Chain A
Amino acid sequence: MTDRITLQVERYRPEQETEPTWQSYEVPLREDWSVLDGLNYVKDHLDGTLSYRWSCRMGICGSCGMTVDGDPTLTCAELLTDHSPGPVQVGPLRNFPVIRDLVVDIDDFMHKLVRVKPWIVREDDDQPVSEGEYLQTPAQMDEYQQYSMCINCMICYAACPVYGLDEQFVGPAAIALAQRYNLDSRDQGARDRLDVLIHPDGVWGCTFVGECTRACPKDVDPAGAIQRYKLTAATESLRSFLLPRGAR
């Protein structure tokens, strides 16, 4: 095994080029080095102008999502040795506008996230703090825990061809997070989220390619969350059609 590997990095410098170009860097190939470590080596020793996002280096912050050899992935969790002998192609996350090099514009996702109210909504929000927490059994927690693992890394958006073709689609992570709160026994906001989720750009935009679930680094299963909500949405629509207003 050679002790060096080539990173082919997609560069986009809007002040000097109109579309991305590739630039190669040779970095040490160490057994415990991730692709992110390789990029940090480039930044520290070879080319300080390279731009990318990163923070925790341990798959928690969700900042370092990029496209490595064609697959959307967290670069901190992707070992260089798994791509040996290389070269390793590193590009920005697909389906997002590229601001610079490996940095993408995440505004669209942030706006969508807020729309599904990913926090606990209480209708009776006047319970004083002195009365303590809203208690929950382990079984109730188990209902939503998988979806709560989402770290907002947007890898599922990069994997989703529907989002790539139609950026109006609310998208996998936002819907999975809506479900995370809908299924939480302490939450009372399911009806608030319904309008966003049953919109044609909501769950019905999903055609169940399933690539979001395969790409998710935290095993959240956004595709499963979306399909589950389709059943909820269909039931709600049927109820609103069949039942008088007071009985819904």
Chain B
Amino acid sequence: MTQDTYEPRPYRRRISLFWWTERRTYLVFILRELSSVFIAWSAVFLLLLVRAVSQGSDEYAAFLDWAASPWVLVLNVIAVAFVLLHAVTWFDLTARATVVRRGGRRVPTWMIAAGGYVSWALVSVVVAWILVGA
């Protein structure tokens, strides 16, 4: 009597290099990951600004000229878009990962996100007030 032996040959699908284009949510995720590069650029730009201010009015004027050059402007417009994406998704994701209970019930996600946005707006107003006031 012969005995059949089962030899499985499972098929493994190869993941495409462009898997992140297959769904909008994957694309947003990758853009969010990419946004960290522009967050880093924003930090560098701010440090350069502080350095220029600390070195006197000539250095500051030179910095402003450089910052007004077309490629820096284009880069900063892109950077602002990515920083906004990063901020919005950060508030959204943080709210979903935060569990706050009040009166035995879990505070809804949208309320935590709203708290984040309100804090963001308040800090922005304070910063704007300091800048305008100065």
Whole-angstrom CA separation of A12 from B23 in the bound complex: 25
Q: How far is the CA of A105 from the CA of B10 in the complex (A)?
A: 8
Residues of B contacting A105 in the complex (Cβ-Cβ under 8 angstroms): 8, 10
Q: Please report the C-alpha to C-alpha distance between residue A21 and residue B94 in the assembled complex, in whole angstroms.
A: 42
Q: How far is the CA of A20 from the CA of B15 in the complex (A)?
A: 15
Considering the complex, give the chain A residue whose CB is closest to the CB of B93.
Answer: A208
User: Is B11 a contact partner of A164 (Cβ separation < 8 A)?
Assistant: no
The answer to whether A210 touches B93 (Cβ under 8 A) is yes
Give the A-binding residues of B (Cβ under 8 A).
8-13, 15, 19-20, 22-23, 25-26, 29, 33, 93, 96-97, 99, 104, 106
> A164-B15, A214-B25 given as contacts; is B99 within 8 A of A97 (CB)?
no
Q: A12-B11, A18-B11, A209-B26 are in contact. List 4 more A-B contacts (CB 8 A).
A: A97-B10, A161-B20, A164-B15, A209-B29
- A224 on interface, CB distance cutoff 8 Å: yes
B5 to chain A, nearest CB (A): 13
12 A-B pairs with CB atoms under 8 Å apart are A94-B13, A139-B104, A142-B106, A161-B19, A209-B25, A210-B25, A210-B96, A211-B25, A211-B26, A213-B96, A223-B96, A227-B96
Q: Which single member of B8, B29, B96 contacts A14 (CB below 8 Å)? A: B8
Chain B residues whose C-beta falls within 8 Å of the C-beta of A97 in the assembled complex = 10-12
Closest to B25 in A: A211
A99 and B25 form a contact (CB under 8 A):
no
Instruction: Report the minimal beta-carbon distance from B86 to chain A, rounded to whole angstroms.
Output: 13
Contacts of A18 in B (CB 8 A): 11
A99 to B19, CA, bound (A): 23
Residue on B nearest A231 in the bound complex, by CB: B97
Are B99 and A164 interface neighbours, CB within 8 A?
A: no
Is there contact, CB below 8 Å, between A164 and B19?
yes
Nearest A residue to B23, CB-CB: A211
Cα distance A221–B9 when bound, in Å? 34
A151 CB to closest chain B CB (Å) equals 22
A161→B26 contact, CB < 8 A:
yes
A153 at the interface (CB under 8 A from B): no
Q: Nearest Cβ distance between residue B101 and chain A, in whole angstroms?
A: 9
Q: A161-B19, A161-B20 are in contact. Are A207 and B29 (CB under 8 A)?
A: yes
